[in-house]
Amino acid sequence: MKNPVTRDTHSRSIAKAESWGKETPSAVLWFTGLSGSGKSTIAQYVFGYLAKGGFRVESLDGDSIRDIFPNTGFTRSEREAHIQRVGFLASRLERNGVFVVASLVSPYEASRQFVRRLCSNFIEIYVATPLEECERRDVKGLYAKARRGEIQHFTGIDDPYEPPVNPELTLDTTKTNVEDAGNAILALLQNRLEGAT
């Protein structure tokens, strides 16, 4: 698959963006999916591309933010509050011309819709890697713990994942590699921003 985003067209967007100051078009790229689905890996690829391209871009990773606020729990209401707060942060960065690459399990449709409403250019990327594959990988050993009952409220095991109703993009990492997935997102982003100008 050919990279749909060439350096040249990308550079044009950058130059335009910088000349716009506060009105810079930006966007929130919101990665949702099960633990181990590959969200963060693709998000990092996209983040790296935007950062190297000279864009202002911030990475918001659900787990890292939980490390800063360790009292955030995993009940439905605590998860909802967490998603909404990260979404608010994302929206405030976005409206100041900063791209946001957010990677959170964010399992509830209503919470994601809440964030969508806060943002101008909300691009929801559903990393739809099947549960069986996520559990087979089990990079952090969390599925095994959840199966043994050592952790509760684990999405996909004893807590629901509500698939996005109308995501901008759906990816399955058993069928796409990181580079192709990342480039598809960048192409989508470019189309969206050109449409917004």
User: Where along the sequence are the contacts to a second copy (CB under 8 A)?
Assistant: 18, 21-22, 54, 56, 58, 60, 65, 68-69, 71, 77, 81, 84-85, 88-89, 92-93, 95-98
Is 77 considered catalytic here? no
**Catalytic pick from 37, 91, 106, 111?**
106
Q: How far is the CB of 88 from a second copy (least distance, A)?
A: 6
* Least distance in angstroms from the C-beta of 85 to a second copy: 6
CB 53 within 8 A of CB 17: no
- End-to-end distance of the chain based on CA atoms, in angstroms? 28
Judged by beta carbon, residue 65 or residue 178, the one nearer a second copy is: 65
- Taking the least distance from each CB to a second copy, the nearer of 65 and 151 is 65
Taking the complex as a whole, the smallest distance from the CB of residue 53 to a second copy amounts, in Å, to: 11
* Closer residue to a second copy in complex, CB, 83/157: 83
| 3-class DSSP state of 167 | coil
Phi, psi of 41, deg, nearest 5: -65, -45
Catalytic residue numbers read 106
